[in-house]
Structures are given as C-alpha cells and as structure tokens.
Amino acid sequence: MTITMKGYRVQRPAERLDGFRTVLTGLSLADNDLDGGVVLARISSLQAEINDLTLVLAGSEAWLIEWLAIEHSKGSVLYAAAKISKSRNEPLDKSPSDARSRSAIMDRFNDWASTFLTRLDDYEASSRQPATVAPWIAGAEAFPGDHQP
C-alpha cells in the first residue's frame, strides 16, 4: 500500500522492492531477445527503481542500494556480452561448454535474474542489515574476473 502525505509518496517496507520484482519476474534472455529491445528496457528500468528507492529510503539502508546497483550492473554487462557475441558471430557460437559462448552468457543472465529475485525476498525476510547483503556484494564484485559459465 502506498500512502500519500502532502505530495510525498511513502511506501510501506513490504512494498519497497515490488517494482524490482515486477521487472525481474519472468525476465529471461534467449537468442531471439537480442534482436529487440524488450529485455534491455526491463534491465534499464531497474535503474529507475534504484533511483526511486534511493529517494524513498532517504539515506537509510545504503547497503541495499549498493547491492542493487551492483546487481543492475551485472545484468547489464551480461546482456551486453550476449548482444556483442550475437552481432559479431551471428549464426556461429562457441561450444556451449565455453564460458564465452553466447548460450553460456545467456544462461548466466537467466541465473542472475532468478537469483536476484530470490535474494530480494531473502532480504525482506531478513533483519535488513548490512550483513545480509555483504556476501551478495562480494560475489557480485568478483563477477568481472570470475570467468565461470
């Protein structure tokens, strides 16, 4: 439920992450998605959700905003990597066992979206403290150099 007070929109804690859930629910990447802009638009809308939540939280739960921003970047990079792979190698792809193959990148994207959604629920069920997101931040920060499928 959203409460409006003198022009300010105030969300109850249980609703603060609903916009993220809306974007992430059912979000997946397949080869044909790389030809259109639907998935990209959904990824981009995560930044708007982060901006809105930053205003709503007004400085509290900075660790949550940090984690959300890192996850947004991770999803963006995975999408871009798959898009670049398709534009460079259109019909060709590396072996699916190769971490740089388009299919492996898309699998990672789909795992990212699913895990992100699960962690939103985990965060809301938690004490909402920095310790909750610390391992997620560490894992996401390790992403650029992990080279795993």
Q: pLDDT tens digit string along 26-72?
A: 999 999 999 889 999 999 999 999 999 999 999 899 999 999 999 99
Identify the pLDDT of residue 96. 56
Q: Specify if 121 maps to a domain.
A: yes
Domains held by the chain: number: 1
Q: Specify if 3 maps to a domain.
A: no
Identify the pLDDT of residue 94. 61
Identify the pLDDT of residue 11. 47
Q: Specify if 6 maps to a domain.
A: no
78 neighbors 112 (Cβ within 8 angstroms) = yes
Mean pLDDT computed over every residue of the chain: 85
Q: Specify if 5 maps to a domain.
A: no
Q: Specify if 36 maps to a domain.
A: yes
- Report pTM: 0.83
Q: Specify if 4 maps to a domain.
A: no
Angle, helices 38-57 vs 62-89, to 10°: value is 170
Q: Specify if 7 maps to a domain.
A: no
Alpha-carbon Rg for the chain, nearest whole angstrom, is 17
Identify the pLDDT of residue 68. 97
Domain that holds residue 57: 13-145
Q: Specify if 51 maps to a domain.
A: yes
